[in-house]
A = this chain, B = another copy of it.
Amino acid sequence: MTRFDPETLKWDANGLIPAIAQDHATGEVLMMAWMNRESLAETLGSGQVTYWSRSRQALWRKGETSGHVQRLVRLSVDCDRDCILMQVDQTGPACHTNRRSCFYTDVAGGQETVTARPML
């Protein structure tokens, strides 16, 4: 074990890093969003996943209004230290379309197909 220094991560030109959320029980990849230093610190400190909303330019405490929170189970960084992977305990849908995962559109053979329905 060594001390974790967030400054060793490769924050991009906007001070952001991509973060993938995966269902800790099923392995389903739920979403990918972005974190800044503040959202990573809040996620690690509170155990509630917090992103940075690039569209709103504001901290995005996942589920704060919807109740569809992500409790952090495990957080890893990759070999290049430029991506975060989280195992989460997701309440309800992760997607704003009320689907469990944001990845519900498959592409193959030049066509795309919606593969999941809203949960709610």
Q: Enumerate chain A interface residues (CB-CB to B < 8 A).
A: 1-4, 18, 20, 22, 26-29, 31-32, 44, 74-80, 83, 85, 95-97, 99, 102-108, 110-113, 115
Contacts and interface: CB of A to CB of B under 8 A. Distances in A.
B104 A79 contact: yes
Given A1-B113, A44-B107, A44-B108, 11 more contacts: A4-B107, A4-B110, A4-B111, A20-B20, A20-B29, A32-B85, A75-B106, A76-B104, A77-B105, A78-B103, A79-B96
5 contacts: A2-B112, A3-B110, A18-B18, A31-B78, A75-B108
A83 to B, nearest CB: 4
